[in-house]
Amino acid sequence: MPISTPNRVADPVSLEKYIPPCKIVQEGGLFIPYYNDTGLTLVTGEPIIHAGRVCIVQRTILPGKMGTLLADWIVDAVLSVAQAGNILQNAVVYWDTDASYVATEEGEELDDFGAASSIGAPSNGFILGRASGPHYDTPPTSGGDMVCAYEGDFRVRVVCVPGAPTTYGS
């Protein structure tokens, strides 16, 4: 194995130490068998588009192996370091495959998987779902808006949206 081979390709099971891009909260009822022919390891919690819907990888799927995708789900998705502002209930949450998120307590950024954002359509990505699950530690704002994630939060709860996903870029 050449030294320049990234861990995601070389030996992700023993070498990768990462915070999952999406933490699965509810798996729903639709499980899709999936053969990974991408050449990359698909990690637990990684969102991908398959069979005309946004799916979440249930468990790590190595290249050339079978695994399971979840099609009806609720996840806590990591937020992009570029996310600014609060995310309100039912706001569209995008998955930007070019974005990065803070992956360690030391502040190291990881950009292998992408990250969630609600600040606008990404140049390369797709609509992940809708924001849900307001913070219960603070009351709604004076206008009655329920805030799902405050500026500076690490994750936002997202619910999948039925139907064909809207994609951006390549």
Number of domains in the chain: 2
| In a shared domain, residues 87 and 156 | yes
Q: Is the pTM of this model over 0.85?
A: no
Task: For residue range 120-155, list pLDDT tens digits in order.
Answer: 889 899 999 999 976 655 555 555 678 888 888 888
CB 19 within 8 A of CB 46: no
Containing domain of residue 61, as a range? 7-70
Token duo for residue 158: 């997202």
| In a shared domain, residues 153 and 97 | yes
Task: For residue range 18-61, list pLDDT tens digits in order.
Answer: 678 899 998 887 899 999 998 888 888 999 999 889 999 998 88
| In a shared domain, residues 105 and 153 | yes
CB 51 within 8 A of CB 12: no
| In a shared domain, residues 59 and 96 | no
| In a shared domain, residues 42 and 84 | no
Final residue before a domain boundary, out of 43, 70, 97: 70
Final residue before a domain boundary, out of 70, 94, 110: 70
